[in-house]
Amino acid sequence: MGQAKMIYIYIMGKKYEVPSDVTVMQAMEYSGYKLIRGCGCRGGFCGACGTVYRTPDDFRIKVGLACQMVVEKGMQFIQTPFFPANKKKYDIGELNADLVSLMKLYPEISRCVGCNTCTKGCPQDIEVMDYMAAAIRGDIEAVAKLSFDCIMCGLCASRCPAEEVQYYVAVLARRLYAKHAVPIARHLADKVKEIEEGSLDEEMSKIVAMDKEGLEKLYDNRDIE
């Protein structure tokens, strides 16, 4: 296999030459950046490496995850490992699974204009506008299920003209749905009881005493449902 050709990109306005077949994250490291934040799981499922970028001859500002996107010639980008947004504080036990609760905490959902910009910006291909429409209707179950794969990267909110915080609305709906609509998992309750009664203490002590090799073997041979 031949060596990848080199291309120029711009990281925070500075020009670098990098291989053409690397991801944005790999390109940053290749260029000498030490990623302390904005790297996360490195596999595209934690939302820590949000990136804003433009490509030559395209007027649009685009967003994506640095660990998923392959670099393009002449692209310019910056990272946003955290998207600033106001997260409301609440006691989930004091809220009902209805539109009143959503509107009380996030009244801005009523400003949605249905532009679909949020959906276009989602690196997980979630139908964000659809679950926001469900939120406006007060359909908590639909919001919870449609937003289930959200990784909280915040990119849906980065270009929202209504300045909504879609992902915080989604996580509130999922919590409300879990609290008020989903039956209690009996097997989970039974396991919690076992822990409280101390029946797993001996087994946990053995695990704590294991060395790295033993832990890896135990993990590799575990039962997967």
Q: How far apart are the first and last CA of the chain?
A: 39
Query: Which of 79-83, 137-141, 200-204, 214-218 is predicted with the least confidence, judged by mean pLDDT?
Result: 79-83
Q: What is the mean pLDDT of the chain?
A: 92
Whether the CB-CB separation of 15 and 76 falls below 8 Å is answered with no
For residue 222, is pLDDT > 60?
Answer: yes
Tokens 């990848």 belong to residue = 4
| Distance separating alpha carbons of residues 16 and 46, to the nearest angstrom | 27
For residue 89, is pLDDT > 80?
Answer: yes
pLDDT in tens, 132-185: 999 999 999 999 999 999 999 999 998 899 999 999 999 999 999 999 998 888
pLDDT in tens, 27-55: 999 999 998 887 888 876 788 999 999 99
- Average pLDDT score over residue span 69-79: 95
| Cα angle 22, 24, 29; round to 5 | 80
What proportion of the chain, given as a percentage, has pLDDT over 90?
A: 78
For residue 17, which phi and psi values (nearest 5 degrees)? Answer: -105, 125
According to the model, what pLDDT value does residue 88 have?
A: 94
pTM of the predicted model over 0.75:
yes
Q: Sorting pLDDT into bands at 50, 70 and 90, what band is 223?
A: confident
Tokens 């270009």 belong to residue = 159
Tokens 């989604």 belong to residue = 170
**Which domains does the chain possess?**
6-79 (3.10.20.30), 92-180 (no CATH), 186-220 (no CATH)
In the numeric block, which tokens belong to residue 63?
Answer: 């967003």
Nearest Cα to Cα of residue 66 among 148, 150, 149, 123? 123
- Average pLDDT score over residue span 59-67: 92
